[in-house]
Structure 1
Amino acid sequence: MGAFDWFWKAMGATSERNTKKSKGIVDAAHAQLESLEELENHELSTRARALVKDGEITDKAEFLALLSIASSRTLGMTPFNVQNQAVLRLLEGDVIQMATGEGKTLVGAMAATGFALTGKRVHLITVNNYLAERDAEWMRPLVEFFGLSVAPVTEKSTRDQRVVAYQSDVIYAPVTEIGFDHLRDNQITNRSQTVQVPADVAIVDEADSVLVDEALVPLVLAGSESAVQSTGMITDVVAHLEETEHYTIDAEGRNVFLTDEGARIVEKRLRIDSLYSDEHIGSTLVRVNLALHAKALLLRDVHYIVSDGKVALVDGSRGRVAELQRWPDGLQAAVEAKEGLEVSEGGRILDSITLQALMRRYPMVCGMTGTAVEATDQLRQFYDLHVSVIDRAKELKRFDEADRIYATMEDKNHAIVEEIAHIHETGQPVLVGTHDVAESEALAEVLEERGINVNVLNAKNDAEEARIIAEAGDLGRVTVSTQMAGRGTDIRLGGADEADHDQVAELGGLAVIGTARHRTSRLDNQLRGRAGRQGDPGLSLFFVSLDDDIVTSGGADTELTVNPDATGRVDSKRVKDFVEHCQRVTEGQLLEIHSQTWKYNQLLADQRDILDQRRARLLDSDQALQELSQRAPERTAALEGLDDDVLTQAARDIMLFHLDAEWSEHLAMMDDVRESIHLRAIARETPIDEFHRIAVREFKDLAQRAVDQAVETYQRVEIDSQGAHLEDAGWKRPSATWTYMVSDNPLAGGGNSVVSGIANMFR
C-alpha cells in the first residue's frame, strides 16, 4: 500500500470512528430526555451553563438533550437523532453533509447556541440576506431561551444597527456583508469607529459554495475618484470591429486579442500613431482592451442585466443579481458605455480580501451542505476541515434517471421541451435548472407558447425567490430556475402549505430536470437534491449535448464518432463514459485553478496580516506620535500647547492615511503584475516565483515609504485643536466608497451559454 493510499484509508477510519462515537453520544442524550423534561425552563438553562467548564462541554450527551428540549419548547421542533448527531459534529468543528430538507436550519441554530453557551461569539453565515433575516427571527426563541442574544446583519442594515448586531452572541449574515464590514473597519482612524466585534466561530451554511465555489472571489472596497474615464469614443470604435478579422477569442473564451489589422483600424479611427507607444500603452490600449472585453466576452442576460438604466452583475454560481457589485478597472464603465448608459464614476481599490482569506481569520470554521463529500479534497487542503456524512432521517425514494445525451444542442433543447410538456400533462410538478438568465427566459417563452404556465426564477426577479421556490412542488407547477437559486428554501410537495402533498406524491413527487451538466458533479447533485425531500418520492434527469461547454472544454482535441437516432439522441455507454470523463477533466481544471490562485493570493493575505498588525498598533497606542516625534522633534515641540489626545489622534490620522494609501497602491501594482505575469514564462521564469519575488520586494519598502510621507505631511500640515487638516493639504480620503466582487474563477460559467444564437436555443 502506498503512503498516499494509507493516508486516505486512515482518514476514512478516523471519520468512521467519529461517526460511531457521535451516534453513541446521541443515543445517550435520547435516553436522558424523559427525566430532563421534568425541569422548568430556568432550570434547563442553568443546567446547560453548568455543563461548561473552561469553555469546554463536560457532558455532551446531557448538553445535547438540554438543547433538544429547549428546541421543542421554544420552536415546537423536536430534533431527530440524526440532527443531534449533526449538531455534535459541528461542535467538533466538522463540515457536515445533510440532504436537502433534513433540517439544517435547526441544526445550525442548535450548534450556534451550543457554541455561545461555551462563551464563543458565533457568525452563522447564510446564503443571502433573506435567509439571514428569516433564520435569525425564526431561531430567536431558542437562542434567547438560554439568555443569549441573536441578530441579523443584512445589506439594508444601517451602521448603527450593525454595531448593535455584532455585539450579539449569535449573528446571522451573508458572507459578503461580514467581509465588506471587515474591509470598512480596516479604514478607520479611531477605535470608536469600529463596527465589527471579532467572532470565535463561523458556521457556514452551504459550506461548499462559500468555502470552495466562491472561495477565491475577492471582496473589494473601492473609493471614488474625481476623474471619469472617457470611454465613449473608444467604445464606438470597438463596436465596429469584427471577430476573426479584427480580434480573436481564445479557446476557453476567457481572453480577447486585437489582430494586427484590428490594431491598425483602431489607431486610424482614434487618430493615433501606435497603440503600443509609451504614450498610449498604459492608457489608451488598456481602455481599448476593456471595451473589447465588454463587447466580445460579457453577454447581456448572461453575465449581467440592465435594470432601471443601470448594469447589474449576475452571480454566476446562483444565477441572481449580485447586489452592490461592480466590475473593477474600468470594465464597469466599458460595459455601461457599450449599453449606451451613463458611465459611472471611476475609483481606486482601497482594500480587498478573498472569501478564503476572510474565512481563515476565524479561529474555528465548520459548516453544513448537502454536497460536502465531493469537496472533501478542497476542504481538507485549504482549511484543514473534515467532512462528516449524516444519514437521512427517512430513506431516499428519489429516482435518478440516467443522462439523456444528444448529438447537438438543437436536438437536446427540443427534447427538454418535449419532456417537460409530457411530465406536465400528468400534473407532476417540474423544477428546471438552467445555467443563465437568457437560457431560462428562452425556455420559458417556448413553454408558454405550448400553453404551459411557467414561474421563472432568475436574476431579474430574485426578490420573489423564496415565494416562487416554496411553491415549486405544487400540483401542475412548472418552475424554471437559474443555477441554484432558491437554496435554503424548502420545496414541499403540494405547495408551501402541503395541501396537495399526497396527490403530488402519488404522481411521483417533484421532477427535477437539468438542462446541462455542470462543471462539477457536486453542482449537479445540488440540483438533484431539490427532489426527494424527507422521504418524499422524486425524479431527477439531466440532458446533455455534445455541444455543451463541459464536453467541448473537457473533451477538447478528442474526436468522437456517434450514431444518433432520429431524435438526435445518442444511447451509447462509450459516449456516457466520455461525458463523465469530460466532467472529471473540468473538475480537475477547477481544482488546479483554485490551487494556483491560492498561491498568488496567499502571500498578499500574509502581507495583509502584517499590515493589520501595524494598523492595530497605531490605533491602540500613541506609537504614531512617538515615531513622528522621533523623526520631527521640532514639529512636536511647536505643537506642545495642544491637548495630548488631540495631538495623538492627529499623528494617528496622518500615519494611517499614508499607510492605507501605500497599501492601495501596492494592491493596484500587484494586480497589474498578476495580469502580465504569464509573460514571465517566455523568459523561462516561473510566474508564481516571480510574482512572489516582486510582491516581497515591493512590500518590504511599503511601511517605510508610508512613514517617510507621514513625516513630510506632519511637518507641513496644519494641526490645531480640531486635529490635522489633511483635506486642506490635499490629503483627502475618498468621499464615497462602494463594494464589489470579482470572479476569479474562469470556469464559473457553463451549460448552454454560447456567444451567438442564445435567444433561439429552444426553437
Structure 2
Amino acid sequence: MFGNLAKNLFGSSNDRYVKSLGKIVNQINALEPDMQALSDDELKAKTGEFRERVANGEALDAILPEAFAVVREASVRVTGMRHFDVQLIGGIVLHRGEISEMRTGEGKTLVATLACYLNAIEGKGVHVVTVNDYLAARDAEWMGQIYRFLGLTTGVIVPNLQEEERIAAYAADITYATNNELGFDYLRDNMKHDRSQMVQRPFNFAIVDEVDSILIDEARTPLIISGPTDDKSELYVAVNEVVQKIEEEDYEKDEKTRNISLTEDGIEKAERLLEAAGLLVGTNLYDYENTQVVHHLDQALKANVMFKRDTDYIVKDDKVVIIDEFTGRMMDGRRWSNGLHQAVEAKEGVAIKPENQTLASITFQNYFRMYPKLSGMTGTAATEAAEFFDIYKMNVVSIPTNVPVQRIDEEDEFYKNTQDKFQAIAKAIAEKNEIGQPILVGTVSIEKSELLSEYLNQEGVKHEVLNARQHEREAHIVAQAGRIGAVTIATNMAGRGTDIQLGGNLDFRIEDELGHMPEGPERDAAVEKLKAEIAEEKQRVLDAGGLFVLGTERHESRRIDNQLRGRSGRQGDPGLSRFYLCLEDDLLRIFGPDTLFAKMMNKNLADGEAIGSKWLSKAIETAQKKVEARNYDVRKQVVEYDDVMNDQRKVIYEQRAEIMDGEDVSEDIENMRLDTVNAVVYRNCPVGSYPEQWDVDGLKKDLDEVFALSPDIDGWMEEDALAQDVLEERISELSEGSLKEKIANLDDELWGSIQKSIMLQTLDHNWKEHLSTLDALRQVVFLRAYAQKTPLNEYKQEAFGLFERMLEVIREEVTKTVMTSEYRVAEPEPLPDLPDFLTTHIDPLTGEDNSNDIDGGTRGTVSSALPPRQSPAGVVPGAGVLTADPVDASEGNPYAHMNISRNAPCPCGSGRKYKHCHGALG
C-alpha cells in the first residue's frame, strides 16, 4: 500500500529517471537556434570538430547535447523529419547502453541516428542490428542520408556480398546488418586461415532493433554452421513404423516441456517391435549397443505425438517447413536438430535429408555480450526487464509516447468452449464491419486462422487470411489492413515489418494501382488523387473508432499480446483492443487455473454466454508469467551450457588469431614437439617406475608412429641409470635432427607457411570433433541427476576434461604431421571442392533463413571442413557454398546474371523486394 502511495506521489523509478533526462533535452533544445543558423558546410564541419575534441580526450557525454542538436538539424534538412523530445530521450538511453522501450509508431529508426552519430565519432565502428536484411538495407539507405550529409560512411551487410564488399561495409563508421549475418560472419571469420580474409573489426558498440525478438525470442536457438553426415533415412523410416504401433497408454507426455517417455509396459512393447523389425541388438532396449536406436525412438515418439501438422509445421513441396511459434511464419531452410526434423519427415512420408555435424556454433547471448557497449530498442521489453539485466546487464527504460495513447483496451471475454468463442468473435467482427471499422484479428496457429475464416464466411464477411501459407502476400495484405471495412486475420504476425496506416498505405497503392503507368504528369496527377482518397478514407476510419485489434487467444508471452495491441492507437489515433478466451485455449488448458475453476466455468456458464472480470484477467496474466518464467529458464540453461563452450571457444579462437598474426610459429611447433616427447616418454615410462617396468615395445611403436624414429632403445637400456629425463632429452635431439634434414631444402617463408597451415588445419579438425562430442555429452548429461548430481556441474567437469584432452591431441597430431610428412618444392595440386555446409538460424520477421542464400563472403575461405593436413591453398572459387540452391529468375529478367538476395531491394528501383519484382518465380 505504502509503495503504491509513494509511486503516486513521486512517480516510479522509471518516471524519475526519464524526468532527469529532461535537463539534457533542454540543453539540446537550447542549441537548436544556433544549429539552424549554420550553413550546410558549417553543419557538416561539426563532425571534424567533434572528432578532434574526442581525440584530445573529451568524453562523448560532454559533446552529447551538441552532437544530438547537429543530428536533429541535419535530419530536418535532409529528410524533413525533426526528432521529438521523447526521441531525444530515447537517443540518450541508447547511448548509455540501455534499452529504450518506445511504443510502436514512435519512430525508433530515427532515434537510433542520435546514438549512432555520437558513438561513430570515435571511429571504432557502430553496428545497428535489424531483424531482416530488407530492413537493414532500407534503414541504411534511409538514415544513411543523414550520416552522409554529416560526413560519416555507412555500410550494410546483406547476403551475397563479396568478401571485399563485406570488409568495406564493416570498415564504415556505421554498419547496418542482421543479427544472423553478424553472428555467422564472426563464426566464419574464425574458420579462415588468413587474417586478411577476416571481415569484422574489433567489437565496439551495437544498437539492437527489436531487441526483445533478437535477444529473447531467438536466444533459445544458437547459430550453427554445420556439414552433412551419413544418410540414415532407412533407420528413420523403420523406427517411425514401430512408433506408429505404440498406443497412448504406452507412454506419458508433458505438454509443458514437450517431453514424452515410455511406461514400463511401453518399453517392453517397444522392445518386441524393434526386435521384430531387426533394429534391436540383444533383447534390452537400454543396452549400450542400442543407444542410437533409443535416441531415434525418442525423437520419433516426439515427432508423432507432440508435433502437430499445420501448427508446428506444414508440408510444402515435399518438404517439412517449420512454423515459428512467435510469428506464425514459415521458416524455410530452418531444421530441428538432433534428428527431430528427420523424424517428422519420416512421419509425413517426405524425402529425408541427412543430419548435419556442427562445425561452429554460438548463441546470441554470448555473441552480443562481446560488445563493450550494447543497447537496444523495442516496443515491448518491460515484461522481460529482469532477463535483460541478468543476461546482458542492460536496464529497460520506458519512454513516454509523443502523443497520449487514445486506444481503449477492454477486459477479456471468457467462453466455455471454442465454438462459442468463435461464434462470438464472428458476430463482433460482423458488427464492426457494418460500420466500416477496420479489424486486425490475431490468432496463434494456421488451423485457428482457417477455422475463423470459415465462421466469417458463414457471416458473409469479406476478409483476408495472413499466415504462413500466404507469406508472399504479407506486406500487401498488412499495408491495407487499415482501410475502411478491412478485416485481416493474422497468425501471430500483427503486421510486424509493415506499418498499418489508417486509410491505406500510399506506397503500396501506387505500386498496386499505378505500377503500369510511366513517369510523367499523368502519373503525378494519379498519385495526388490517391493521396486525397487516402486522407478522406482515414478520416472515415477515425470516425468509426480507428483500428480494432481482436485477439482470439492469449499468447504464452505477454509481449506478443502487447505487440498485437500496439498495432492500434498509434501517434494519438483512436483504437480498440479486446481478447476472446475459452477453457479449451492452450494457455488455459496447460498453464491456467486449476480444474476447480474449469468445473465452475462449465457448471455456471450457459452455451454462448460470456463472462469478464479483472480477477479472470489477472489469472491469465499469472499463467503467462509462469510460461515466461519457464521460457526464461530454458534460455538461461542454453546460455549456461554455452558459457562452458564459450570459454573454450575464446581460447581456440584466440589461438587461431595468434597463429595467423604471428610471423613465425616455429617456437610454438618446437614447444609442441617437446611436450609430445614428454607425453610419449611418460606414457610408456611412468614416473617412479624402474626401467624393467617400462613398456619398451609401446615406446618404440609411439616413436615410429609420431616421430618416424627408430632409435636403439634396447642399447640405451643396457646403459646404467637411464632415467626418464635422459631418455626424453635423447629423443628430443633425434627428432630435432630428423626435422632439420626434412626441411633443409625449404626456404624460411615457405616453411613458415606450411607450419601455420598444419597448425590451423589440426586445430580446426579437432575443434569440430570436440563440438560433436560436447553435443553428445549435453544430450545425456541430464541422466546424472538420477545419481543426485547437478547436470550442469557434471557437464562443466566433463567438458573441461575433454578440452584438456583435445589440446593434448592437437599437440601430438601437429607433431606427428610435421615429423612424418615429406617436404618438397612442387606445384600445389588442386584440392577437392569443400563439402556443402549449412548455416541455420531464422529471420524472426520474414520467417526465412537468409543465411541459406548463396553467400559470396564464404567462398573459398572456410577450410575447417577439410580433412586435417590438407593445405588450404588453391581452393576452387565457389566451393563450400551454402546448401540452398539459388532461385531461378523468371524469363526476361535482366538481372538474372547478378547474385542478388531474394530479400534485397530490386535493382530496377521499384522499391520492392527482388523476389516480388524481377526475381519473382516465373
TM-score by length of 2: 0.75
Query: Which residue of 2 is the match for residue 759 of structure 1?
Result: none
Residue 84 of structure 1 deviates from its aligned partner by: 1.5
Residue 592, structure 1, aligned to residue 645, structure 2: no
Structure 2: how far apart are the matches of 1:646 and 1:459?
55
Provide the residue aligned with 2:333 in structure 1: 324
Separation of aligned partners in 1, 2:357 and 2:271? 28
Tell me which residue corresponds to 1:528: 565
Distance 1:722 1:518 in 2: 65
The answer to whether 1:54 aligns with 2:54 is: yes
Q: Deviations over 1:51-106 (max 9, x none)?
A: 34336333322211110011111111111111122112211221101111010111
Given candidates 290, 305, 321, the residue that maps to 1:296 is 305
Q: Residue 237 of structure 1 contacts residue 269 of structure 1 at CA under 8 Å; is this kept in 2?
A: no
Match of 1:92 in 2: 96
Q: CA, structure 1 residues 411+265, in 2 after alignment: closer, same or farther (shift >3 Å)? A: farther
1:612-761 alignment, distance < 5 Å: 612-622=653-663, 624-630=665-671, 631=673, 633=736, 634-635=738-739, 637-717=741-821, 719-721=823-825, 735-741=835-841
> What is the SS of the residue equivalent to 2:502?
coil
Change (3 A) 1:333 1:586: closer
Does the 8 A contact of 1:372 with 1:387 survive in 2?
yes
**How far apart are 1:572 and its partner, in Å?**
4.9
Q: CA deviation at 1:479?
A: 1.4
The answer to whether 1:283 aligns with 2:320 is no
Unaligned runs of 5+ in 1: 744-763
Bigger mean CA deviation after superposition, 536-545 or 208-217: 208-217
**Residue 636 (structure 1) shift:** 5.4
Deviations 1:224-280 (A, max 9, x none): 335454345325514633441444422425122342223322332346444626574
> Residues 127 and 488 of structure 1 are in contact (CA less than 8 Å); yes or no, is this contact kept in structure 2?
no
Residue of structure 2 equivalent to 1:36: 35
CA contact (8 A) 1:245 1:262 kept: no
1:181 aligns with 2:185: yes
Q: What is the match of residue 125 of structure 1?
A: 129
Residues 239-318 of structure 1 mapped to structure 2, 5 A cutoff: 240-252=244-256, 254-258=258-262, 259-260=266-267, 261-270=269-278, 272=280, 273-274=282-283, 276=285, 278=287, 280-318=289-327
The counterpart of 1:546, out of the listed 560, 572, 583, is 583
Residue pair 2:310, 2:445 contacting (<8 A) in 1 also: yes
Q: Distance in 1 between matches of 2:454 and 2:161?
A: 37
Q: 1:749 is matched with which residue?
A: none
Residue 124 of structure 1 contacts residue 172 of structure 1 at CA under 8 Å; is this kept in 2?
yes
> Counterpart amino acid of 1:644?
D
Deviations 1:126-155 (A, max 9, x none): 122221122112212111112222232224
3-state DSSP of counterpart to 1:102: coil
Q: Which amino acid aligns with 2:630?
A: Q
1:501 aligns with 2:524: no
Instruction: Identify the range of structure 1 (538-547 vs 555-564) with the bigger mean alpha-carbon deviation.
Output: 555-564
The SS at the match of 2:482 is coil
Tell me, what secondary structure is at the counterpart of 1:300? coil
> Could you tell me whether the CA contact under 8 Å between 2:237 and 2:346 is conserved in 1?
no
CA deviation map 1:527-547 (0-9, x unaligned): 111111000011111112222
User: For residues 495 and 408 of structure 1, do their structure 2 counterparts lie closer, same or farther at Cα, with a shift above 3 Å needed?
Assistant: same
Pairwise CA distance, 1:184: 1.6
Distance change >3 Å, CA 247–CA 264, structure 1 → 2 = farther
* 1:720 to partner: Cα distance: 4.7
* Contact kept in structure 2, 1:509 and 1:537, CA below 8 Å: yes
What CA deviation, in whole Å up to 9, does each residue of 1:592-628 have, x standing for no partner?
3333333222222222222221221122115654333
Cα pair distance change 1:554/1:723, threshold 3 Å: farther
Code of the aligned partner of 1:188: K
Quick one: which amino acid aligns to residue 270 of structure 2? G
- Following TM superposition, by how much is the alpha carbon of 1:431 offset from its aligned partner in structure 2, in angstroms? 1.0
Q: CA deviation at 1:549?
A: 2.2
Q: 1:139 aligns with which of 139, 143, 160?
A: 143
Residues 98, 572 of structure 1: CA spacing in aligned structure 2 closer, same or farther, 3 A cutoff? closer
Residue of structure 2 aligned with 1:102, choices 97, 106, 111: 106
Q: Which ranges in structure 2 are unaligned for 5 or more consecutive residues?
A: 507-533, 674-734, 844-922
Deviations 1:721-750 (A, max 9, x none): 5799897xxxx995121111499xxxxxxx
1:754 maps to: none
The C-alpha deviation readout for 1:482-521, integer Å capped at 9, x for no partner, is: 2235424321111113432111111111111112112232
Q: Structure 1 residues 682 and 43 mapped into 2: Cα distance closer, same or farther (>3 Å)?
A: same
Aligned twin of 1:760:
none
Query: Partner of 2:452 in structure 1?
Result: 443
State the alpha-carbon separation in 2 of the partners of residues 723 and 629 from structure 1: 27
Q: How high is the TM-score relative to the length of structure 1?
A: 0.89
Number of matched pairs: 735
Q: 1:186 is aligned with what amino acid?
A: N
1:458-490 per-position Cα deviation (integer Å, ceiling 9, x unaligned): 233434433332222111111122223542432
Amino acid corresponding to residue 224 of structure 2 in structure 1: V
More deviation, 149-158/378-387:
149-158
Q: Tell whether the 8 Å contact from 2:313 to 2:321 is kept in structure 1 after alignment.
A: yes
CA distance in 1, matches of 2:827, 2:406: 70
Change (3 A) 1:449 1:738: farther
The separation in 2 between residues aligned to 1:75 and 1:399, in whole angstroms, is 33
Matched AA of 1:617? E
Check 1:107–1:246 CA distance in 2 against 1; reply closer, same or farther (3 A cut): same
1:156-198: CA deviation from partner (whole Å, max 9, x where unpaired): 5454543332222222222112112211222111223223333
Q: Distance between the aligned counterparts of 2:70 and 2:470, measured in 1?
A: 42
Q: Residues 227 and 357 of structure 2 are in contact (CA less than 8 Å); yes or no, is this contact kept in structure 1?
A: yes
AA aligned opposite 1:541:
R
Check conservation: 1:267, 1:275, Cα contact below 8 A: no
Cα distance between partner residues in 2 of 1:636 and 1:329: 48
Q: Which residue of 2 aligns with 1:517?
A: 554
Higher strand share: 1
Cα distance in 2 between the residues matched to 1:457 and 1:51: 49
Distance in 2 separating the partners of 1:344 and 1:82: 51
1:477 corresponds to which residue?
Answer: 486
Q: Does the 8 Å contact 2:416/2:608 carry over to 1?
A: no
Q: In structure 2, what residue type is equivalent to 1:107?
A: V
Q: Report what 2:229 is aligned to.
A: 225
User: Structure 1 CA distance, aligned partners of 2:345 and 2:204?
Assistant: 42
- Distance 1:77-1:453 versus aligned 2 partners, 3 A rule: same
CA–CA separation in structure 1 for the residues paired with 2:129 and 2:232: 36
Alpha-carbon distance, 1:369 to partner: 0.8
Paired residues of 1:83 and 1:107 also in contact (CA < 8 A): yes
Q: Which residue of 1 aligns with 2:406?
A: 397
- Secondary structure at the residue paired with 1:362? coil
Q: Corresponding residue for 1:422?
A: 431
Structure 1 range deviating more: 303-312 or 178-187? 303-312
Distance in 2 (CA, whole Å) between partners of 1:324 and 1:157 is: 20
Change in Cα spacing, 1:531 to 1:644, as seen in structure 2 (3 Å) is farther
Is the 1:554–1:581 contact (alpha carbons within 8 Å) kept by the matching residues of 2? Answer: no
- Tell me which amino acid in the other structure corresponds to 1:595: K
Q: 2:908 aligns to what?
A: none
Q: 1:486 to 1:717 in 2, by over 3 A?
A: farther
Cα distance in 2 for residues equivalent to 1:438 and 1:159 = 44
In structure 2, do the counterparts of structure 1 residues 466 and 143 end up closer, same or farther at CA, with 3 Å as the change threshold? Answer: farther
Match of 1:388 among 378, 397, 410: 397
CA RMSD of aligned residues (A): 3.0
Q: Note the C-alpha offset of 1:693.
A: 1.7
Equivalent pairs: percent with the same residue? 36
Query: Is the 1:405–1:576 Cα contact (8 Å) retained in structure 2?
Result: no
Q: Which moved more, 1:58-67 or 1:109-118?
A: 109-118
Equivalent residue letter for 1:37: Q
Partner of 1:191: 195
